[in-house]
Amino acid sequence: MIRSCAAVLCVVALAVTALDAQQTIAGRLSGRVSPEIAMLVQELGSAAAHRGLPVDPLIQKAIEGSAKAIPSDRVGTAVRLVVDQLDTAAAALRNAGLATPLDTVEIAAGAFAITAGLRGRDITEIARTGRPTAEVIVGLRVAGTLAAIGVPPSETVTLVSASLRGRRGAGDLLTLPGQVQTEMARGATPAQAAAGLARAAAAQARHGPPPDRGPPPHPPAPPHP
Amino acid sequence: MTEREFHPQVKQLLDGELTLADLPAELRDEGEEALRLLAAVDREPVSVPSVTWRVMARLERKRQRRLAWLLAPALAAAAALLVWLGRPASPVASAPGSMVTVRFVLVAPGAHQVSVAGTFNGWDPAATPLVRSGSGDMWVATLVLPSGQHQYAFVVDRARWIPDPTAPAVDDGFGRRNSVLTL
Amino acid sequence: MHADTQGPSDGEIVRAVLAGDRDRYALLVERYRDRYARYASRMLGSTDAADDAVQDAFVRAYDQLAQCQDPAKFVGWFFLILRNRCFAEQRKRRPHLSLEAAARVPAGQRSDDGAESAERRRALQQALMELTAEQREVFVLKHVEGLSYTEIAERLNTSVPSLKMRMHRAYDRLREQLRDHA
């Protein structure tokens, strides 16, 4: 009896989610894309929401394509590609042993990393660091950015994983692309720059910060008015 | 007190110092008229999203008028994305929901109009124009964006979509590139 | 009207801007623009006029930022700059222009709105434009922005009794206007 009730509630919740998704998609696309694209995104988006995937990336891609005056068939292809990337990212995160349902922002971050050139197994590796969701999300975004700069996948994963394991906060993670670019400006290849930073991160995780160049003390939190 | 003036007790009702039930019976109708007046007050929020970039653009133009601004010729061939991170004093600079000031700069010789379009403004090329600054080839806009992942491109003369040459870029799925901003 | 507790405080941003980090001023603009746009739109009877007034006030505030005696109280200091800007706009306007402007005030588009409610809101806003700027201001601050008489008195550096006198005259004029045009 209880299982039946739970099953009914799950079906209702999914139906409500799907209906919600349809209304959100229709509202956001109204007047922005052609009717055929709107219909396609509604169909793909509802199915994606049913699988626990975020819908926003599909909507964004459809609006982007229309804004850029891309023919409808190519917009359709691009939206389908986004769905594939989201599915790949979700599978990669499940392979890392993350609890379900997965965080949709985390899935979107993983999909971005895939857009940038990383593979499913790279996403799995980063998610396996065991850090809190909020940090993994930033880690995946930073990994995608590093890949977009030209850092090869394995060096990207090594650097981001070492930084996450070293418990560097989101703020520090976000500085990694800039640090890599600084090293590149000095003549290092993207791979060399990332590898050097990864070694430093790993050493810091093992031994703590070096005595002469420790991280600055965190300033006190601002007083609330 | 004339016929057209509210009774003092009804004015206390309007001030929130009395309730309708506190009014004597002969003032109830007038009290209800007063409450109908208050019910017609429009408290709808007003949204003026363009004010931020317009204010920053005006300040930039004022600054340029006060400065002597010389650009090296090399800059004429390059674009730069300069990110001023408005980091709060607390350690978590990118806490979900925190806002970051971002300055977009493009050097576009010969351009008549430049804007930036991306995930933060619905890819609308009309939403965020850049303003001319300095020598006339430099275009600038300052936005405040939420922390997170953003993709964008510059739109020159409403026709050419170009990524930021010095920012990381990813395939946009349409055979072009989008610039990436991770805050 | 309190400072946003997310991110840096107003005082920190003001000090950073005065120290040369100009672009951080955008955080203050972003934080307060909508809140003060509502006050300005009710005072001036037009969202367009409010947009201009809020912009001008933020630009002036930036130029005079060094004169803000207590950076932590930027919001109150900024309000006075915006207020002066709104009052100056009122003095420039001819009476019939304020009615035209009032006719264009959007009466609040809400999904559960009836045409009748929208019309009542429009009529009240039009009646508000018939008040003096001082009367309109106390009405807007109390009934739109939700401030108490004490808070308004502190903000405007005046007394509660004089505010009440202004407000009660406003109530009577509004009643007169709404009856005349019903």
Q: Is the separation of the CB atoms in A190 and A177 below 8 Å?
A: no
Chain B and chain C share a number of CB contacts under 8 A equal to: 139
Predicted local confidence at residue A12, as pLDDT: 58
Q: Cβ contact (<8 Å) for A225 and C5?
A: yes
The residue count for chain A: 225
Q: Does A224 touch chain C (CB under 8 A)?
A: yes
C72 closest CA partner among C11, C18, C19: C11
Q: B35 and B61: one domain?
A: no
pLDDT band at A6 (very low <50, low <70, confident <90, very high): low
What letter would DSSP give residue B6?
P
Q: Is the separation of the CB atoms in A205 and A162 below 8 Å?
A: yes
Please say if the pLDDT value at position A217 is more than 80: no
Question: Distance (Å) from the C-alpha of residue B158 to the closest C-alpha of chain A?
Answer: 10
B166 closest CA partner among B181, B149, B150: B181
State the residue for tokens 């206007």. Answer: C177
C-alpha distances out from residue B31 to A132, B21, B113, Å: 57, 9, 58
Q: Give the count of domains, chain B.
A: 2
The residue among C1, C9, C14, C70 with the most chain A CBs within 10 A of its CB, best to mutate, is C9
**B87 to chain A: which residues are within 8 Å by CB?**
171
Question: Distance (Å) from the C-alpha of residue C12 to the closest C-alpha of chain A?
Answer: 8
Q: Does A27 touch chain C (CB under 8 A)?
A: no
Q: Is the separation of the CB atoms in C3 and C30 below 8 Å?
A: no
Helix (H), strand (E) counts: chain A: 11, 0
In chain A, what percentage of residues exceed pLDDT 70? 82
Complex confidence, ipTM: 0.83
Tens of pLDDT, residue by residue over A109-144, are: 999 999 999 999 999 999 999 889 999 999 999 999
pTM for the full predicted model: 0.63
The residue among B35, B46, B102 with the most chain C CBs within 10 A of its CB, best to mutate, is B46
The residue count for chain B: 183
Tens of pLDDT, residue by residue over C140-153, are: 999 999 999 999 99
Q: Does C24 touch chain B (CB under 8 A)?
A: yes
What letter would DSSP give residue B21?
G
Q: Is the separation of the CB atoms in C44 and C83 below 8 Å?
A: no
A59 closest CA partner among A27, A36, A85, A84: A27
Q: Is the separation of the CB atoms in A164 and A131 below 8 Å?
A: yes
Q: Cβ contact (<8 Å) for B39 and C120?
A: yes
Predicted local confidence at residue C24, as pLDDT: 87
Predicted local confidence at residue B48, as pLDDT: 85
The residue type of A82 is: V
Q: Is the separation of the CB atoms in A84 and A58 below 8 Å?
A: no
Instruction: Residue window 87-116, chain C: list those with CB within 8 Å of chain B.
Output: 105, 107-110
Token representation of residue A54: 């975020």
State the residue for tokens 């009774």. Answer: B7
Which of the listed ranges A99-103, A185-189, C59-63 does the model predict with the highest average pLDDT?
Answer: C59-63
pLDDT band at C112 (very low <50, low <70, confident <90, very high): low
Q: Does C18 touch chain B (CB under 8 A)?
A: no
Q: Which domain holds residue B34?
A: 8-39
Arithmetic mean of pLDDT, A92-119: 93
Q: B34 and B119: one domain?
A: no
For residue A27, what is the enclosing H or E element? Answer: helix A2-29
Q: B162 and B124: one domain?
A: yes
In chain A, what percentage of residues exceed pLDDT 90? 63
For residue A80, what is the enclosing H or E element? Answer: helix A72-95
Q: Cβ contact (<8 Å) for B173 and A81?
A: yes
Q: Cβ contact (<8 Å) for B124 and A77?
A: no
Q: What is the mean pLDDT of chain B?
A: 81
Which residues in A59-122 belong to E strands, given as ranges?
Answer: none
**C178 to chain B: which residues are within 8 Å by CB?**
37
C-alpha distances out from residue B16 to A177, A180, C124, C171, Å: 57, 62, 19, 13
Arithmetic mean of pLDDT, B62-72: 56
Q: B168 and B107: one domain?
A: yes
Predicted local confidence at residue C97, as pLDDT: 44
Question: Distance (Å) from the C-alpha of residue B103 to the closest C-alpha of chain A?
Answer: 16
**Residue B147 and residue B95: Cα distance in Å, rounded?**
7
Tens of pLDDT, residue by residue over C29-80, are: 988 999 999 999 999 998 888 999 999 999 999 999 999 989 999 999 999 9
Instruction: Name which of B5, B15, B144 is nearest C27 (Cβ-Cβ).
Output: B144
Q: Cβ contact (<8 Å) for B176 and A63?
A: no
On the CB side of A112, CA atoms within 13 Å amount to 33
In chain C, what percentage of residues exceed pLDDT 70? 84
**B94 to chain A: which residues are within 8 Å by CB?**
138, 170-171, 174
CA angle, residues A77, A78, A82, in degrees to nearest 5: 115
Q: Cβ contact (<8 Å) for B142 and C110?
A: no
Please say if the pLDDT value at position C171 is more than 70: yes
Q: B93 and B64: one domain?
A: yes
Rg (alpha carbons) of chain B, rounded to whole number: 26
Tens of pLDDT, residue by residue over B9-37, are: 999 999 999 999 999 999 999 999 999 99
Is B45 domain-assigned?
A: no
Q: B18 and B107: one domain?
A: no
Question: Distance (Å) from the C-alpha of residue B162 to the closest C-alpha of chain A?
Answer: 11
Find chains touching chain B: ≥3 CB pairs under 8 Å.
A, C
**Residue B87 and residue B93: Cα distance in Å, rounded?**
5
Please say if the pLDDT value at position A4 is more than 80: no
Is B27 domain-assigned?
A: yes
* Most distant pair of Cα atoms in chain A: their distance: 68
Tens of pLDDT, residue by residue over B84-142, are: 333 222 222 345 568 888 999 898 888 999 999 999 999 999 999 999 876 678 898 99
Task: Count the Cβ atoms, other than its own, within 10 Å of residue A71.
Answer: 11
The residue among A28, A66, A68 with the most chain B CBs within 10 A of its CB, best to mutate, is A68
Q: Cβ contact (<8 Å) for B173 and A61?
A: yes
Question: Distance (Å) from the C-alpha of residue C36 to the closest C-alpha of chain B?
Answer: 9
Find chains touching chain C: ≥3 CB pairs under 8 Å.
A, B
Q: Cβ contact (<8 Å) for A60 and B123?
A: yes
Is B1 domain-assigned?
A: no
| Domains located in chain C, CATH noted | 7-94 (1.10.1740.10), 106-182 (1.10.10.10)
A81 closest CA partner among B116, B160, B170: B170
**Residue A215 and residue C106: Cα distance in Å, rounded?**
53
Q: Cβ contact (<8 Å) for A222 and C8?
A: yes
Question: Distance (Å) from the C-alpha of residue B58 to the closest C-alpha of chain A?
Answer: 28
Q: B176 and B98: one domain?
A: yes
Question: Distance (Å) from the C-alpha of residue B125 to the closest C-alpha of chain A?
Answer: 8
Q: Is the separation of the CB atoms in A114 and A86 below 8 Å?
A: no
CA angle, residues A132, B96, B172, in degrees to nearest 5: 95
C-alpha distances out from residue A137 to A84, A204, C14, Å: 19, 22, 32
Please say if the pLDDT value at position B75 is more than 50: no
Task: Count the Cβ atoms, other than its own, within 10 Å of residue A55.
Answer: 25
Question: Distance (Å) from the C-alpha of residue B118 to the closest C-alpha of chain C?
Answer: 19
Q: B152 and B117: one domain?
A: yes
Instruction: Name which of B91, B174, B178 is nearest A70 (Cβ-Cβ).
Output: B174
A90 closest CA partner among A115, A109, A116, A62: A109
The residue count for chain C: 182
Predicted local confidence at residue B137, as pLDDT: 83
**Residue A76 and residue A33: Cα distance in Å, rounded?**
11
Residues 6+ apart with CB under 8 A from B44: C38, C108, C109, C110
Tens of pLDDT, residue by residue over A24-78, are: 788 889 889 999 999 999 999 999 999 999 999 999 999 999 999 999 999 999 9
Q: What is the mean pLDDT of chain A?
A: 85
- Beta-sheet pairing, B131-133 with B80-82: unpaired
Chain A and chain B share a number of CB contacts under 8 A equal to: 86
Instruction: Tell me phi and psi for residue B142, to 5 degrees.
Output: -115, 125
Please say if the pLDDT value at position C7 is more than 80: no
DSSP 3-state assignment of C12? helix
On the CB side of A100, CA atoms within 13 Å amount to 10
The residue type of A145 is: T
Better pLDDT: A185 or C156: C156
Predicted local confidence at residue B1, as pLDDT: 59
C-alpha distances out from residue A192 to A147, A199, A206, A210, Å: 13, 11, 21, 21
For residue C29, what is the enclosing H or E element? Answer: helix C25-44
- CATH classification of the domain holding B74: 2.60.40.10
Q: Is the separation of the CB atoms in C21 and C15 below 8 Å?
A: no
Q: B98 and B173: one domain?
A: yes
Token representation of residue A76: 């359709």
CB-count exposure of residue C92 (10 Å: 0-12, 13-18, 19+): exposed
